[in-house]
Amino acid sequence: MASNVLTVETRDLLGSRGSRRLRRTGKVPVVLYGLRKDNIVLLTAERALKEVLKSGARIVSLRWDNQEEMALLKDLQYDAMGREILHADFVRIAMDKRIELRVHLELKGTPVGVTEGGVLEQTLREVLVECLPTAIPDKLFADVSGLKVGDSLTLKGVSLPSGVKLVHENLDIPVAIVRKPVEEVAKPAVEEEEAAKEPEVITRKPKEGEEAEEEK
Amino acid sequence: MRLMPRRVKFRKSHRGRIKGKATRGNTLAMGEYGLQSLESGWVSAEELEAGRVASSHFLGKSGRLFIRVFPHKSVTAKPIETRMGKGKGEPAYWAAVIKPGTILYELTGVPEDMAKQTFNRIAHKLSVKVRMVSRSA
């Protein structure tokens, strides 16, 4: 598990207006909370934050004004286009306490069903696990090579490293399905005619006078 | 088959104004790759269907395409060579109201290069500018 250092600064600009001004200068507003201590509002350079994200680190060491705290990246807000980072949430962690976090799930192997013409669909891409901060896995893997067409793999089939526990209550949730290929069936002309019809209108019934006009 | 609501409260709707960017439906939900709109506009049911047909011709039985938008809005038009007035025209087609950032299609079960080619084919059928997005990016 990669660990990274992120240099941050304390900030005075608060709220949406202040945050917007910060973003214009290439900074990202950050908040640090947790472990029953006070919240601290911080800021960091967008480029530095992106580098940390690129490294894949989940536990980040935040440094500012001769202070250092270990934190877990809890949440990231992106703009509507999913391009720019708007805000980052960090939660303090104790290295000896177990934490809950979401970890990416990757499918391993080519299912038997896919070679027979099926389509592999991953229905769950992240799983909620509990582990010590020192034992956070980069990814979890599920072996799908044995799946035939119509088969599915549940959370029970996810291989977990030692010290990592699944938090999901229901372990029967499917994570991958090998679906039958859907064949395009030529539609009869009658359906095309039906499609051209207008949808049913749920409004008040027309008054008697209107009906009479329509009949004319 | 062209998409259209089954039941509506009113046959005709106001044109409306498309303001801002999409705050919902702007992230990938089902697929590995998606086609995101970069503009606002009305995407007609015909366009959506043309995109679906283009992708199914290219993909064949492989992969699965999801259409993330639905044409809820009826768009009216007046017959040609008609004088102005005499009320609003008759519904001509159904359209989905698109804001920048909206994910129009999603694709799963295919490698990235194939997804790229599929979305390229779909993009040619659409009246809005689009870009491909993926989970890894």
pLDDT tens digits, residue range B46-58? 999 999 999 999 9
Whether B61 and A182 lie within 8 Å, measured CB to CB: yes
Tell me the pLDDT tens digit for each residue of A159-168: 999 999 999 8
Instruction: Say what the pTM is.
Output: 0.83
- The whole-number pLDDT of residue A115 equals 87
Judged against a pLDDT cut of 80, whether residue A197 lies above it is answered with: no
What digits encode the pLDDT tens for the residues B76-131? Answer: 999 999 999 999 999 999 999 999 999 999 999 899 999 999 999 999 999 999 99
Contacts of A84 (CB under 8 A, 6+ apart): A23, A46, A78
E-assigned strand segments in chain A: 3-10, 27-34, 37-45, 59-64, 67-78, 85-92, 99-108, 119-122, 126-131, 139-143, 152-154, 158-159, 165-166, 174-179, 200-201
Task: Select the highest-mean-pLDDT range: A3-12, A27-36, A181-190.
Answer: A27-36
Mutation for A interface: B3, B4, B103, B118, most A CBs within 10 A = B4
Does the CB of B79 have a partner CB in chain A at under 8 Å? Answer: no
Tens-place pLDDT, residues A82-132: 889 999 999 999 999 999 999 999 999 989 988 888 888 888 989 999 999
Q: What is the pLDDT of residues A24-79, one digit of tens each?
A: 999 999 999 999 999 999 999 999 999 999 888 889 999 999 899 999 999 999 99
Contact across the interface for B64 and A201, Cβ inside 8 Å: no
Best mutation target among B64, B67, B132 (most A Cβ atoms within 10 Å) is B64
Q: Do B108 and A122 touch (CB under 8 A)?
A: yes
Cα–Cα distance for residue pair B26/A126, rounded to 1 Å? 19
**pLDDT on residue A119:** 85
Closest-CA residue of B relative to A121 is B109
Residues of chain B found within 8 Å of residue A205, distances taken between Cβ atoms: none
Q: Residue A206 corresponds to which tokens in the numbers above? A: 């027309």
Q: How confident is the model at residue A216, as a pLDDT?
A: 46
